[in-house]
Amino acid sequence: MKDFFKIILGNLAAQAIVVSLMLVGCVVFLFMLLMSGSSKPIEIADHTVLVVDLWANISDAPETETINNAINQAMEGSYTPNYYLLELIDAIEQAAEDEQIEAIFLHGNLLPVGYGSGLAVLTEVREALLEFKQSGKKIYAYVVDPTMKDYYLMSVADEVYMNPFGLISLNGLSSEGVYLGDALKKYGIGVQATKVGKYKSAVEMFTGNKMSQADREQLSELLDDLWQTILTDISTARGVSKSQILQESDDQGFFIAERAKEIGLVDRVGYFDEVITALKESYAVDEDFGTFRQVAMNDYISRHGFRAEGAPLWVNSPQIAVVYAEGEIVDGEGYTDQVGGDRLSRWIRELRHDENVAAIVLRVNSPGGSAVASELIQREVREANKVKPVVISMGSMAASGGYWISAYSSQIFAEPATITGSIGVFGLVPNFKELANEHGVTFDGVKTSTYADLFTLSRPKTPEEMALIQTFTDQLYDEFIRKVSEGRGLPLEKVAEIAQGRVWSGQDALGIGLVDQIGGLNDAINYAAASAGVGDDWAITQVPEARNLAEAFAELIADTPGVPPVVKAPNDLLHTTIRKLNKELASLRALNDPRNVYARIPFSLEIQ
């Protein structure tokens, strides 16, 4: 017995020591982060090359640090760096004017997180790089194993270097879905669904085991539109025939270094040290480090900060408010990676009443979600647009509920590669009766009215109940059609024809009237400023604002991100499959519409 108590006390002591060390470690880590935020801006000498490390995510919205994220970073020992779009574009524009910056060097592979690093965002960054070249300065890029997105971005470079053992992936686009219908049946989980729209295929993930013909048709046309845009842009940048790239892609899909050089996809084949030597010969040498004189993009951003072109940042300047709607649309406040209907509605309402805000730009990067939450947001957009211009800037995805919240704006901007439309709704009603019964669990109860337990999970719905849910679905679809017709000034019949839950590329959406102009976030901001009549006297305010760890910590007790190593996610078959399945299943937490009716694009729509 004495030994037993010794063991117990020993374990408790060991656990206490471990917990104490973890707490001390977290405190030290937070202290180091806070101290790092007070470091002086780096000095930049003449003849410097701006180095853009692409081992990062490019998000629409500014990064908001939290204490939880910091603790997770400390425990895991890694994090994913992040550039946000306006900040990155602004830094590139400043570099074009900066006499101390003579060139840009791109390297690394993008690390997409959530809805970041999509094709539309990369298009905007790419356009900023093209404008940088117009200043007469050069862009260099080094690739090893670039994905299609990596190469698409870096193809703008004047000189592209490739590792001799590298491989360019230019094998086209695909969209592959996960279908849980058979699995759910196997485990006794029933799913009943309603939908309106021939192409509204989101329910197929839960009810079927393969892609429907209608979904196959719309996705094939969408991917072909996006693929043609990518091929055209690469062809133009590299001076290579579009038909040749397409033929080579169909023949082999991937390009080893020598073949990539033969057809003009890259300019030189060499190792990283050879690229360093070439840049040392062309630009100033940093004697301390034995390399070319350089500044990292993160340091450059920290030094110069974010500015709006032509916008003096004094306090009394009229504000152009850029509001970010990034993630799935959910009822209530939502998580930080979701668009909470209550939260976004409140932000827009506050901006409507703020006399210092001259116009609102709503940046939408969302596949949609809760129909009720989408309607709450749309109402605030509609009311705000009566008082001041509300301009929509569509990111990589602004579909279904993402389009719902956009319809009543003054103007809609999209990129050619934006995924939009998907005007349709569906309903999902799961039940666990069979699964529960198999484990000896049964349900019974009483009710006062026929439909009192309509949304119970304990049993399948009766035909009469499904008919009622279908009525809800039909009503929402009719309202969706009517609102798009009214908001966009399109005939009801035309909207009904182009709706049906079908997804469109931004370029096609322009042709059918769902968007007004092809352009990026800066284009939308400038349009909003012009519509508000503020001339050159305006400044940008962002909602939510970027918040570093120091600010988050100050809120907790009265950051800047740390620098743990960047660790690329494991890319083996097992981890890739698990990540894909987890991403699909994570969408289930967004299914919180009070009527179980949703305006969302297919869960599986991910461009690879």
Residue 27 inside a domain? The answer is yes
Reported pTM: 0.84
Q: Which residue type sits at 364? A: V
Over residues 381-405, mean pLDDT: 97
- By the 8 A CB rule, do 104 and 95 touch? yes
- From the candidates 195, 200, 388, 461, which is the catalytic residue? 200
Looking at the structure, do residues 117 and 28 belong to the same domain, yes or no?
A: no
353 inside domain: yes
Bigger pLDDT: 604 or 143? 143
Specify the higher pLDDT residue, 314 or 143. 143
pLDDT of 313 higher than 50: no
Is the residue at 447 inside a domain? no
Quickly state the pLDDT bin for 309 (edges 50, 70, 90): very low
**Active-site residue identified among 117, 400, 406, 422:** 400
Highest mean pLDDT among 120-129, 456-465, 567-576: 120-129
* Paired tokens of 487: 């908001």
Asked if residue 215 is part of any domain, the answer here is no
Residues 272, 299 within the same domain: yes
In a domain, 68, yes or no: yes
Of the candidates 122, 112, 176, the one whose C-alpha atom is nearest the C-alpha of residue 151 is 122
Of all helices (H) and strands (E), which one includes residue 464?
helix 463-488
Q: How confident is the model at residue 549, as a pLDDT? A: 54
% pLDDT > 90, the chain: 62
Mean model confidence pLDDT for the chain: 85
Look at residue 42 and tell me whether its pLDDT is greater than 80. Answer: no
Tell whether 145 and 258 lie within a shared domain.
yes
Mean pLDDT on 528-552: 82
pLDDT of residue 304: 80
Q: Are residues 490 and 548 in the same domain?
A: yes
223 sits in which H/E element:
helix 213-238
Domain, as residue range, for 402: 319-428+462-558+591-600
Looking at the structure, do residues 343 and 403 belong to the same domain, yes or no? yes
Dihedral of CA 49/55/56/57: which sign?
A: positive
Kindly tell me the sign of the dihedral angle through the C-alpha atoms of 325, 328, 334, 336: negative
| Greatest Cα pair distance in the chain | 86
400 given a catalytic annotation:
yes
21 and 140 both lie in a single domain: no
State whether 358 and 265 are in the same domain.
no
The answer to whether 139 and 99 have CB atoms below 8 angstroms apart is no
- Residue 89: phi and psi, rounded to 5, are -65, -45
In this structure, is residue 411 part of a structural domain? yes
Task: Say if 370 falls within a structural domain.
Answer: yes
Whether residue 489 is found in the same domain as residue 512:
yes
Query: Do 363 and 385 fall within a single domain?
Result: yes
If residue 584 lies in a helix (H) or strand (E), which one and from where to where?
helix 573-586
Catalytic residue check, 200: yes
Instruction: Tell me what pLDDT residue 533 has.
Output: 96
Answer yes or no: do 122 and 144 share one domain: yes
Q: How far apart are CA 522 and CA 408, in angstroms?
A: 20
The pLDDT assigned to 435 comes to 87
- Residue 566 — pLDDT band, cuts 50, 70, 90? very low
Per the DSSP assignment, residues forming a β-bridge with 598 are 370, 426
SS (H, E, C) 93-155: HHHHHCCCEEEEEEECCCCCCCCCCCHHHHHHHHHHHHHHHCCCCEEEEEECCCCHHHHHHHC
Tens-digit pLDDT profile for residues 226-267: 999 999 999 999 999 999 999 999 998 899 999 999 999 999
The total number of residues written for the chain in this structure: 608
Report if residue 583 sits inside a domain. Answer: no
Do residues 365 and 84 touch, judged by C-beta distance below 8 A?
A: no
Number of domains, the chain:
3
Residues above pLDDT 70, as percent of the chain: 79
Q: Is 272 found in the same domain as 330?
A: no
Whether the per-residue pLDDT at 306 is higher than 70: the answer is yes
pLDDT for 337 equals 85
Tell me: do 296 and 345 sit in the same domain. Answer: no
Q: What is the CATH number of the domain that holds 331?
A: 3.90.226.10
CA 392/CA 390 separation, integer angstroms: 7
For the stretch 361-385, pLDDT in tens is 999 999 999 989 999 999 999 999 9
Model pLDDT for residues 432-449, shown as the tens digit of each residue:
899 889 889 898 989 999
